[in-house]
Structure 1
Amino acid sequence: MVWYELESLVDLDELVETSSGIPSIIFKHSTRCGISKFVLKNFERGIGEFDPSEARFYFLDLIKHRDISNQIEKRFSIIHESPQVIMIHKGETIFDASHQGIQAHQITERLKTI
């Protein structure tokens, strides 16, 4: 799968802009957490490959970029969790899940309805 790295607040603004056309999915990952690593691997295996013209997947390293996570929390009124998946479409949160609640099939099913 193709990941777009979220490394700045400008990247977050671009993500929101992209979401006006196609859904943007953020995976918030802590590189220090074994659960987060396990959930990420299962997510990648379950999602498979997506055409970037259908959905864009963004990876956020929480250890390096906690400021971006804080801005996501404020901007989308979502409580910070890790690991966490957030789907944004047309600038709004349409799905979020955390920890073992992150299931790739939920994302793929939701994408089929958009």
Structure 2
Amino acid sequence: MVTMTKMTTVQQLNSALGASSDKPLLLFKHSTRCPISSRAHQEMETYLQGTPDENIEYGIIYVVEDRPVSNEAADRLQVKHESPQAILIKDGEAVWHTSHSNITAHALHDHLT
């Protein structure tokens, strides 16, 4: 089963962004204080438990608990911070992103496979 790797340090984020040259990375920015984010997290889990693209790495940033990592992701990727938010990264650059109620298992499947 595919799982999301928790990104807790800027160094870990930087390594994952660098590795996106070999394997794309989908980052999910999640707020544990937001009901919309909770629904989006459930949609991510539904996608991952279905038939996810196994040629993609999946990471999760808890935006409240790991704010420096979340801020660094927004700065490095030049994607305005939102939460919840899903960002697909290839070669260290954001190539697709969406947020809030647009994060559904169906949308993820359509954009990632």
| TM, length-normalised to structure 2 | 0.88
Whether the 8 Å CA contact 1:47–1:105 is kept in 2: the answer is no
Aligned residue for 1:82, secondary structure, equals coil
* 5+ residue gaps, structure 2: none
Q: Partners of 1:6 and 1:87 in 2: how far apart?
A: 15
Q: Partners of 1:41 and 1:83 in 2: how far apart?
A: 11
Aligned residues: 111
Q: Partners of 2:12 and 2:102 in 1: how far apart?
A: 26
Match of 1:96 in 2: 97
Moved over 6 A (4+): none
Match of 1:7 in 2: 8
CA RMSD of aligned residues (A): 1.6
| TM, length-normalised to structure 1 | 0.87
Alignment of 1:50-61 (within 5 A): 50=52, 52=54, 54-61=55-62
Q: Partners of 1:21 and 1:107 in 2: how far apart?
A: 20
* 1:105 partner letter: H
Q: Partners of 2:112 and 2:35 in 1: how far apart?
A: 28
Match of 1:65 in 2: 66
Q: State percent identity of aligned pairs.
A: 31
Q: Partners of 1:109 and 1:21 in 2: how far apart?
A: 21
Whether the 8 Å CA contact 1:47–1:108 is kept in 2: the answer is no
* 5+ residue gaps, structure 1: none
Q: In the TM superposition, what whole-angstrom CA distance separates every residue of 1:83-109 from its partner, at most 9, and x where no partner exists?
A: 000010111111100001113333333
